């Protein structure tokens, strides 16, 4: 029986990082089983090939090795090799919950049966740390034609959360291999120009955040974010305001600097966004701005206060038990 879904797992030195087997197992233990798994090895130099070979007795799994050419190229290799009408992606350090594919197929069959111009369905995402502990959540509730909204941020989020119709790539093209970062945002923008996009409001994917995020990552991401927007704006209708789009880009990136404790960079990016379009600034940004002037001192004060409250509650409980 031909598979309904082609799952494309991309990896680079996934074995040495220690997450590859967990990612593969999270696919193989899905409650929905009518899929093939394509493991695309983007030029690994560790034991990734040996790790993957232990799974190849399963005739639903194919392993493809290519010279190191980047994540976008690896995904494109998987798309070209796929045989199903629906495609999913998963990175080698992410995880799927057991019912991820089942929920997506149920949504497509029940909700989109008579919607002929849908292109992509995505789920909400849990953020986990390197040890698998949940540290946050991401999810957007909008569905339908999201083209205009996607200019103001990647509302689809992680590629590990999507299910895409194979024919979509025939129309909009494959991932742009120029982009080292943000190639997914570029793809969602192109898809949303032609197709409807729908969310499943369940946390069915776990996206791993790593401690080794550096300031240089922020700078590189911002470079590619602007490149994605420049490309998208070149074919956008006149009623999309470039200044407001770029202002939103600056403001969104400022929050990333804030989360890393880079308060001077946060204020600089926020100020540039404000100059382009004051309309993109919200009360949330003003709150972050106030905190940034106290920085670690304020955060330290909040932590110390929390510890003192906790200590007082414990002492009170001890006295009650005497």
Task: Judge whether 12 lies within some domain.
Answer: yes
pLDDT above 80 (res 112)? yes
Residues 87, 118 within the same domain? yes
Task: Judge whether 66 lies within some domain.
Answer: yes
pLDDT above 60 (res 49)? yes
pLDDT at 303: 54
The model's confidence at residue 274, banded by pLDDT at 50, 70 and 90, is: very high
Q: Are 138 and 125 in contact (CB under 8 A)?
A: yes
pLDDT at 166: 96
Residues 187, 121 within the same domain? yes
| Separation of alpha carbons 138 and 155, rounded Å | 9
Q: CA angle, corner 91, sides to 128 and 46, nearest 5?
A: 105
User: What is the arithmetic mean of pLDDT over 21-35?
Assistant: 97
Quickly list H helices, 41-115: 48-53, 71-81, 100-111
**3-class secondary-structure state, position 68:** coil
CATH number, domain containing residue 13: 3.90.550.10
How many structural domains does the chain have?
2
Q: pTM score, two decimals?
A: 0.87
pLDDT above 80 (res 304)? no
The model's confidence at residue 17, banded by pLDDT at 50, 70 and 90, is: confident
Give the count of beta carbons closer than 10 Å to the beta carbon of residue 85. 13
CATH number, domain containing residue 279: 1.25.40
Query: Could you tell me which of 128, 96, 125 has the C-alpha nearest to residue 27?
Result: 96
- Token pair in block for residue 112: 């989109």
Domain boundaries, position 272: 215-297
Residues 103, 138 within the same domain? yes
Q: Are 174 and 79 in contact (CB under 8 A)?
A: yes
């Amino acid at each position: 029986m031909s598979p309904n879904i082609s799952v494309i797992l991309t990896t680079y030195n996934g074995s040495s990082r220690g997450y590859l087997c967990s990612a593969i197992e999270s696919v193989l233990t899905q409650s929905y089983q009518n899929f093939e798994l394509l493991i695309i090895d983007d030029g690994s130099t560790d034991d990734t090939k040996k790790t993957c070979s232990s799974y190849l007795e399963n005739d639903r799994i194919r392993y493809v090795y290519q010279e190191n050419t980047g994540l976008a190229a690896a995904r494109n290799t998987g798309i070209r090799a796929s045989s199903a009408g629906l495609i999913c992606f998963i990175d080698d350090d992410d995880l799927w919950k057991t019912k991820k594919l089942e929920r997506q197929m149920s949504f497509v069959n029940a909700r989109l049966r008579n919607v002929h111009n849908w292109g992509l369905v995505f789920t909400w995402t849990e953020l986990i740390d390197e040890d698998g502990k949940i540290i946050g959540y991401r999810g957007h509730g909008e569905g339908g034609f999201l083209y205009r909204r996607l200019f103001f941020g990647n509302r689809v989020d992680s590629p590990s959360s999507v299910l895409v119709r194979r024919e979509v790539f025939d129309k909009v093209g494959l991932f742009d291999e120029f982009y080292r970062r943000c190639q997914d945002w570029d793809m969602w923008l192109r898809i949303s120009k032609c197709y409807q996009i729908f969310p499943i409001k369940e946390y069915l994917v776990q996206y791993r955040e790593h401690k080794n995020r550096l300031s240089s990552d922020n700078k590189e991401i911002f470079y590619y974010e602007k490149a994605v927007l420049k490309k998208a704006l070149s074919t956008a209708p006149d009623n999309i305001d470039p200044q407001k789009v770029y202002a939103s880009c600056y403001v969104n990136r400022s929050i990333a600097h804030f989360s890393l404790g880079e308060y001077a960079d946060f204020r600089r990016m926020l100020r540039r966004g404000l100059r382009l379009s004051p309309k993109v600034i919200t009360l949330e940004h003003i709150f972050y701005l106030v905190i940034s002037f106290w920085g670690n001192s304020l955060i330290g004060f909040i932590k110390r206060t929390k510890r003192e409250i906790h200590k007082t509650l414990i002492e009170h409980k001890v006295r009650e038990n005497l």
